[in-house]
Amino acid sequence: MPTRRQFLATPALAAARTGTQSVPLRTHEWFGDRVENFEFPPNWQINVQHMRGVNNPALTPAQIRDAILHPHGTAPLRELAAGKRTVAVTFDDLTRPTPTYEIVPHLVAELRAAGIEDDNILFCGAYGAHYQMNGMEVAKKLGEETVRRHPWINHNIWENLDDLGTTRHRNQILVNSYYNRADLKITISGLKAHGIPGYGGGPKSIIPGIAGMKTIRYNHQVLKQKPRKRVTEDGKSIYYVWNNEQREDMIDAARAVNVQFSVQVVYNHERRPVYVVAGDVVRAHHKAARFAVNHLATDYATDADIVVVNAYPKGAQLHEHFGWGERGLKDGGSIVVINQNPMGEFVWHYLDEASFNRQPDSWFKHRASRKRRYPQANQVLLYSQYLQRRELDHPYFPPEAVGVRDWNDVVARLARQHKGDVKVAVYPYVGIQHGPAVVDIPDEQA
């Protein structure tokens, strides 16, 4: 695996040696997490738009353990587990880059020290309305040792739900019965920008994580945020984590189910933890969000002829990343989206599919009705050696996207369009990057 120095190396150095420019990008999240070299013509000017926290060091196991031993806003986990018999722990699915397997051993060590038996620690998939996971996926997320020693379940959004009343916003709180009836409840989640709660993680592990479909639909589709200013005077996005009705709904559900301990993870471009906060499900998340907003922030490119978007480490939700292609793109420029992940775009989301299926027309008419998304781009190319036809037909994908399975073909298409001095901007891991932003969390709430 290349060192950080090699990963950040100037492409011009490779051009001097080989006659081409080689840009190393991470790919294959959950399937080896390898680094691939993408070749470009030697005379093109290439700028890699890294997030500001790219040089933040990954935490050591000892540092992760120390974060769990010293929680924020709660008693230590060993004390919380004392006298308890059963424990339930939520974890997210492969659409989230969270390196859960780096956190679990330290949690389990504290639970064992408190007298909890391995087979009484139940892991609950908290993926809301996504498709259910199989054993191979869960092993990737939790680690082989964990699935050999502890039971795990898929959440069911339709059945096996407890009714815990309503939130302040009149949402009926329906949550997974197995999780709700454990003596001690824990969540593990990672942070990335999200349009509904500001940042993922925290109480989002409950709604939508382990909530019933009725609860999820109300939170995502019925409950609306009040109109608020979305950009600061200097152009930064505002992520509302404090004044946010949908997130308040999530918090009420987390309190109702009595989440007693939570671990929040901020990770780097290699999916390694750089910041871990344990403790109260709200306060720990607030503290992590205040770190993440600077760590993940990325300055946008300007005046680029070509914008290259690498979907790592969240290619399973590739549809979210096409928008990066217009950030800094000249009119008439080219967008290239890379998704080197064998899973491709994930196959089912019950909220989305329900919306699509309510349309009266046929599937073929839906496909034909899609509108061009990026009229300022001369071409939009989607590169993946694993590309399937279904992805190009996805309702959330721009219909003008052309699928390409060979990188040399991508470069040839670009070279035919762009002559002379060509400026290329590369966003290397847009699955976690976001633009310059601030959060609205008051100091006293972190």
Q: What is the pLDDT of residues 37-95, one digit of tens each?
A: 999 999 999 999 999 999 999 999 999 999 999 999 999 999 999 999 999 999 999 99
CA angle 364, 369, 371 (to 5 degrees): 140
Of 296, 321, 356, the residue at which a domain comes to its end is 296
Q: Is 373 domain-assigned?
A: yes
What gap in Å lies between CA 59 and CA 273, rounded to an integer? 6
Of 270, 296, 322, the residue at which a domain comes to its end is 296
pLDDT at 19 over 80: no
Collapsed DSSP state (helix, strand, coil) of residue 401: strand
pLDDT given for residue 18 in this prediction: 54
Domain with residue 168: its CATH number is: 3.40.50.11440
pLDDT given for residue 329 in this prediction: 98
The CB density around residue 143, as the number of other CB atoms within 10 Å, is 18
Collapsed DSSP state (helix, strand, coil) of residue 409: helix
Q: What is the mean pLDDT of residues 348-365?
A: 84
Q: Is 411 domain-assigned?
A: yes
Both 265 and 150 in one domain: the answer is yes
Domain with residue 381: its CATH number is: 3.90.226
Both 269 and 383 in one domain: the answer is no
Of 277, 296, 315, the residue at which a domain comes to its end is 296
Q: What is the pLDDT of residues 372-389, one digit of tens each?
A: 999 999 999 999 999 999
For residues 401, 428, 334 and 239, what is the CA-based torsion angle, rounded to 10 degrees? Answer: 80
Both 71 and 101 in one domain: the answer is yes
Among candidate residues 139, 260, 273, 159, the one with its CA nearest the CA of residue 205: 260
Both 282 and 313 in one domain: the answer is no
Q: What is the pLDDT of residues 292-343, one digit of tens each?
A: 999 999 999 999 999 999 999 999 999 999 999 999 999 999 999 999 999 9
pLDDT at 168 over 70: yes
Domain that holds residue 155: 61-296
Query: pLDDT over 70 for what percent of the chain?
Result: 96
Both 359 and 380 in one domain: the answer is yes
What gap in Å lies between CA 14 and CA 29, rounded to an integer? 25
* Domain count of the fold of the chain: 2
Q: Is 334 domain-assigned?
A: yes
The model's confidence at residue 212, banded by pLDDT at 50, 70 and 90, is: very high
Q: What is the pLDDT of residues 248-260, one digit of tens each?
A: 999 999 999 999 9
CB 410 within 8 A of CB 306: no
Q: Is 86 domain-assigned?
A: yes
Both 168 and 92 in one domain: the answer is yes
Both 291 and 303 in one domain: the answer is no
Both 35 and 100 in one domain: the answer is no
The model's confidence at residue 8, banded by pLDDT at 50, 70 and 90, is: very low
Q: What is the mean pLDDT of residues 151-168?
A: 98
CB 73 within 8 A of CB 264: no
Q: What is the pLDDT of residues 215-248, one digit of tens each?
A: 999 999 999 999 999 999 999 999 999 999 999 9
The model's confidence at residue 11, banded by pLDDT at 50, 70 and 90, is: low
Both 39 and 137 in one domain: the answer is no
pLDDT at 271 over 90: yes
The model's confidence at residue 362, banded by pLDDT at 50, 70 and 90, is: confident
What gap in Å lies between CA 278 and CA 276, rounded to an integer? 7
The model's confidence at residue 395, banded by pLDDT at 50, 70 and 90, is: confident
What gap in Å lies between CA 8 and CA 25, rounded to an integer? 10
- The Cβ-side half-sphere exposure at 288, using a 13 Å CA radius, reads 34
Both 109 and 181 in one domain: the answer is yes
Provide the whole-model pTM. 0.94
Both 238 and 284 in one domain: the answer is yes
Ramachandran angles phi, psi of 48, nearest 5°: -95, 120
Q: Give the CA distances from residue 421 to residues 32, 135, 327, in Å, rounded to whole numbers and listed in that order.
A: 36, 50, 20
Beta bridge partners of 174: 163
Both 131 and 86 in one domain: the answer is yes
Size of the chain in residues: 446
Q: Is 438 domain-assigned?
A: no
What gap in Å lies between CA 97 and CA 119, rounded to an integer? 26
Among candidate residues 202, 270, 197, the one with its CA nearest the CA of residue 4: 270
Ramachandran angles phi, psi of 205, nearest 5°: -65, -20
